[in-house]
Amino acid sequence: AEHVLLICLPALSADAWTLKNLVQEITRCYTSAGHGAESADDVTTYLQFSEWQNELVEAEDETAAAGIAYWRKQNLTSAPAPALPFENQIAPDTAFAPATLTLHLDAPLGARIEAVAGAYGVTVADFLLGCWQTLLWRLSGQSEIAVSALFNGRKYEELHEALGLFARSLPVQIHVEAEMQFSEVLRQAREAVHQADEWQEYFSEAESGSEGSEVPDHPVRFSFVEGWSR
């Protein structure tokens, strides 16, 4: 009398938001079947999204030109990946052994982070990104700090319930100097995230035409998820 549903999805077909949507859709289907009702079928499909995105990058209008121009102006090739001091301490013949570090923040510290972020007029995600980039600056000594930040790719309401791989990593770059105040770092992080989110559909097109130079794939990344909002 028991049934187990096993779902195996390649990374190229789903992101974290899709997993949430899939669970909700399965639940909705079971509920509908139990009550003899039909499941909703007006959700945007990934095929529709792909066709729409192709139309965007192929369009020769002011919006497309502005999006492509934004990414090309970032001059991402000038911001190499942060050179961390401990990377050269690993012996060449060391076996690859990935590991994770988990740190749980208590409720009072979480509340303080939210309060400080609110005081500076930034989101918690922007605040933590600014902290992360500041730490990378201190460790590397490099003024230009670029990391790959994860965006959910669903800034339009029609995509909120769609299934597919919409999330993508986009370079977010800021400039840090010793005499700068942390508020300036946060301002840069907020603006960089906002601009990257606004023009995210045009990143690949701009990258492919950046005068023969390849945009580096930054191995240092940043991902923040709060209530599946990003």
pTM score, whole prediction: 0.79
Q: What is the average pLDDT across 97-121?
A: 91
Q: What is the pLDDT of residue 39?
A: 58
Q: What is the pLDDT of residue 149?
A: 92
CA distance 215 to 169: 13
Q: What is the average pLDDT across 165-180?
A: 91
Q: What is the pLDDT of residue 213?
A: 45
High-pLDDT (> 90) share of the chain, %: 30
For the segment 199-217, what is each residue's pLDDT rounded down to a tens digit? 988 887 555 444 444 455 6
Q: What is the average pLDDT across 57-83?
A: 78
Tokens 């945009």: give the residue: 215
Whether pLDDT at 186 is above 60: yes
> Which of the residue ranges 11-15, 67-71, 175-179 has the most confident prediction, judged by mean pLDDT?
175-179
Residue 110: CB partners within 8 Å, gap ≥ 6? none
* Long-range contacts of residues 22-31, Cβ cutoff 8 Å, at least 24 apart: 22/163, 24/161, 25/161, 25/163
Q: What is the pLDDT of residue 76?
A: 63
Q: What is the average pLDDT across 115-137?
A: 95
Are 170 and 148 spatial neighbours (Cβ–Cβ below 8 Å)? yes
Instruction: Supply the mean pLDDT for the chain.
Output: 83
36-40, 62-66, 69-73, 110-114: which range is least confident on average?
36-40
CA distance 74 to 97: 35
The SS3 call for residue 218 is: coil
User: From the centroid of its chain, how far is CA 10?
Assistant: 19
The larger pLDDT score, comparing residue 227 to residue 168, is at 168
Instruction: Identify the bridge partners of residue 149 per DSSP, sorted by sequence position.
Output: 170, 222
Reported as a pLDDT band with limits 50, 70 and 90, residue 42 is low
Reported as a pLDDT band with limits 50, 70 and 90, residue 229 is very low
Q: What is the average pLDDT across 28-36?
A: 79
